[in-house]
Amino acid sequence: MAVSRPYPEMPRGSGTDLKYLSGFGNEFASEAIPGALPVDQNSPKVCPFGLYAEQLSGTAFTAPRRDNQRSWLYRLRPSVGHDHFEPYATPHDTLNSDFSACISSPNQLRWLPFKSPGDQHDFVDSLFTICGSGSASTKSGFAIHVYALTAGMDDRCLANADGDFLIVPQSGALSIVTEFGHLEVAPGEICVIQRGMRFAVNPVQAEASGYMLEIFSGHFQLPELGPIGANGLAAARHFLSPTAAFEDRVSSYTVIHKFDGRLWGAQQDHSPFDVVAWHGNYAPYKYDLARFCPINAAAFDHPDPSIFTVLTCPSTTPGVAVADFVIFSPRWLVAEHTFRPPYFHRNCMSEFMGLIRGAYDGKRGGFLPGGASLHSCMSPHGVDVATFEAATASSEEPKKIGDEALAFMFETDLVPRVTSHALNAANLDRSYQQCWKGFKAAQIPPAAI
């Protein structure tokens, strides 16, 4: 059988010469200069080349061994060498981490594609929060943002003390510089930048846009596989972390720090990307969604979409997530005598969806690449009238959903509160409800009553 997409040997980048370390949560070690990494201990009296040793803790020191995440960084200067932090505001003030004053709405919401603010914006200044719940200060909850950048982060970096970012590019590849090395992330791939890591996002072409999930507690992990067995869904070896790279550059640099829901900025006289070597299991990573191995119904009926979970951030309740990242990727639909598109649904969880490319099989129109929908807890949703009628009249032949479509969902146990700027956005689809108008009532013959 012909394979529609080549799968070259690992590791690989996105058409670049970047080298990556493969594996999920591995104990990695990388050095940009041979001999820069201490071998026998973490914190020698004098590090190789006079580097400064610094630990970055992603979990409490005393977290159980299976959960414990930290890395040791060996750098030209300690990261503390900056001036005082001062409050920093983005030009349009559209970044939220406090949702106490936001509105939770039972209405089904949909946005047409989000556009760039118009003027030149880098990644930080373009951030636009759609919804979220909880707070960074209590380390519980999440936020969902979109970005639309038209400029690189020249001599600026961001670190998020509030949680992890999961970035989903929709248009335009990103070149992401981190303290751990460089990542290039194209649409169809995702990356995760964890709490505390300094990074800068630059467009590979003139501009780029996409989605971002922020979690205020814990870290993303691979879902349990249960009866699926040892294989399937996202494979650990397909997650790629950067290799050490550094620059020794004196410059007027701004370190932007997201802390307790607010942005702060501090000046320093050098690039923060001066880590010559590092080791540990707390490192950013990327993942090519084309490598996801979906499991689906082989005879009849429709599995719950949890079967397509790529990453999850679990809550303290078993089986319940702060947030799941789920994709609807290329796959065969073969279930017989079955309504194959997503079923009509009311969910105790809330569902935010985005579209990376193509057309989603649950909606014929209106849900467009770069747009989004939000179906909050127990708000009914499902396919539109046209999709329902087409699906109920379709043949039983196997059907391929090919590379042309890639949708995703952030699903959360928390109730999303929507920011005022998202509710008032010009691209809010105020006619969304109309797609569910026109369903014909089922007719029960009088003899059957």
- Which residues are designated catalytic? 302
Q: Which is nearer to Fe ion, 299 or 348 (CB)?
A: 348
Nearest distance, CB of residue 427 and Fe ion, angstroms: 22
Q: Which of these ranges, 144-152, 257-265, 345-353, 427-435, lies near Fe ion under the rule CB under 5 A? A: 345-353
Written as one letter, the residue type at 63 is A
For Fe ion, the nearest residue by Cβ is: 345
Of 200 and 327, which CB lies nearer to Fe ion in the complex structure? 327
Residue type, 6: P
Q: Candidates 82-90, 135-143, 325-333, 349-357 — which segment interacts with Fe ion by CB under 5 A? A: 349-357
CA quadruple 386, 388, 393, 394: dihedral positive or negative?
A: positive
Q: Quote the least distance from Cβ 349 to Fe ion, whole Å.
A: 8
253 assigned binding-site residue: no
The token pair that represents 184 in the structure block: 């290039």
Q: What is the identity of the amino acid at 159?
A: A
Number of residues that bind Fe ion (CB under 5 A): 3
Q: How far is the CB of 26 from Fe ion (least distance, A)?
A: 34
Q: Report DSSP letters for 342-384, one per residue.
A: PPPB--SSEEEEEEEES--TT-SSS--TT-EEEE-TT--B---
Restricting to residues 362-421, which ones interact with Fe ion according to CB under 5 A? Answer: none
User: Of 70, 92, 262, 345, which one interacts with Fe ion (CB under 5 A)?
Assistant: 345
343 known member of a binding site: no
| Interface region with Fe ion, contact rule CB under 5 A, candidates 27-35, 231-239, 332-340, 348-356 | 348-356
Instruction: Give me the amino acid identity at 312.
Output: T
Could you give the CA distance from residue 354 to residue 93 in angstroms, rounded to a whole number? 23
257 is in an annotated binding site: no
Least Å distance, CB 251 to Fe ion, is 48
Least distance from C-beta 220 to Fe ion, angstroms? Answer: 21
Least Cβ distance, residue 253 to Fe ion (angstroms) = 44
How many CB atoms sit inside 10 A of residue 95's CB?
21
d(CA 349, CA 48) in angstroms, rounded, equals 51
Q: Which is nearer to Fe ion, 188 or 341 (CB)?
A: 341
Which residue stretch of 167-175, 292-300, 350-358, 395-403 sits at the interface with Fe ion (rule: CB under 5 A)?
350-358
Segment interacting with Fe ion, rule: CB under 5 A, options 146-154, 160-168, 337-345, 422-430: 337-345
Nearest Cα residue to 192 out of 160, 223, 170: 160
Cβ contact 405:313 at 8 Å: no
Is the distance from CB of 207 to CB of 300 less than 8 angstroms? Answer: no
Identify which of residues 156 and 345 has a Cβ nearer to Fe ion in the complex: 345
Judged by CB, which is closer to Fe ion: 266, or 297? 297
Residue in 139, 94, 274, 135 with CA at minimum distance from that of residue 198: 274
Of 251 and 433, CB closest to Fe ion: 433
| Extended beta strands in 188-229, E state | 189-193, 199-203, 208-215
239-277 b/e (C-beta count within 10 Å ≥ 16 → b): bbbbbbbbeeeeeebbbbbbeebebbbeebebbbbbbbb
- Can the peptide bond before residue 11 be classed as cis, meaning omega within 30 degrees of 0? yes
351 is in an annotated binding site: yes
In three-state form (DSSP H/G/I as H, E/B as E, the rest C), the secondary structure along 67-135 is: CCCEEEEEECCCCCCCCCCEEECCCCCCCCCCCCCCECCCCCEEECCCCCCCCCCCHHHHCEEEEEEEE
Q: Minimum CB separation from Fe ion for residue 375, in Å? A: 6
Question: What's the first-to-final CA gap in the chain, in angstroms?
Answer: 51
Q: Which is nearer to Fe ion, 57 or 108 (CB)?
A: 108
Annotated binding-site members: 345, 351, 360, 381
Binding residues for homogentisate: 360, 381
Chain residues binding Fe ion by CB under 5 A are 345, 347, 351
> Residues at the annotated binding site for Fe cation?
345, 351, 381
